[in-house]
Amino acid sequence: MTAPLLEIVDVSKVYAGLRALDGVSLRADKGAVTSVIGPNGAGKTTLFNCITGAVAPSAGAIRFRDRDIAGLSAQRISRLGVARTFQNLALFGGLTILENLMVGAYGQGRTGLLQGAVLSPQARREQREAEATALRMLAFVGLEGAADRVPGELPYGGQKRAEFGRALMQGGELLLLDEPMAGMSRAEKSEMSELILRVRNEHGLTVLIVEHDIPVVMSLSDRIVVLDFGRKIADGPPQSVRNDPVVIAAYLGQD
Is 86 a member of any domain?
no
**Which CATH number goes with the domain that contains 194?**
3.40.50.300
Q: How many CB atoms lie within 10 A of CB 200?
A: 18
CA distance 207 to 61: 20
Enumerate residues 6+ apart whose C-beta is below 8 A from 197. Answer: 33, 220
Domain boundary at 171, 189, 219, which?
171
Pair 57, 179 in one domain: yes
What is the structure's pLDDT at 108?
61
| Stated length of the chain | 255
67-76 CB burial, b ≥16 within 10 A, e <16? eebbebeeee
Q: Which of helix, strand or coil describes residue 114? A: helix
Pair 214, 146 in one domain: no
With a cut of 70, say whether residue 116 has pLDDT above it: no
Domain that holds residue 251: 1-81+172-255
Tell me the sheet residues that pair with 26: 8
pLDDT tens, residue by residue, 174-233: 999 999 999 899 999 999 999 999 999 998 999 999 999 999 999 999 999 999 999 999
Residue 159 confidence class, pLDDT cut points 50, 70, 90:
very high
Average pLDDT over residues 117-131: 77
List phi, psi (to 5°) of 182: -60, 130
Phi-psi region of 71 (alpha: psi -120 to 50; beta: other; left: phi over 0): left
With a cut of 50, say whether residue 112 has pLDDT above it: no
Domain boundary at 116, 138, 171, which?
171
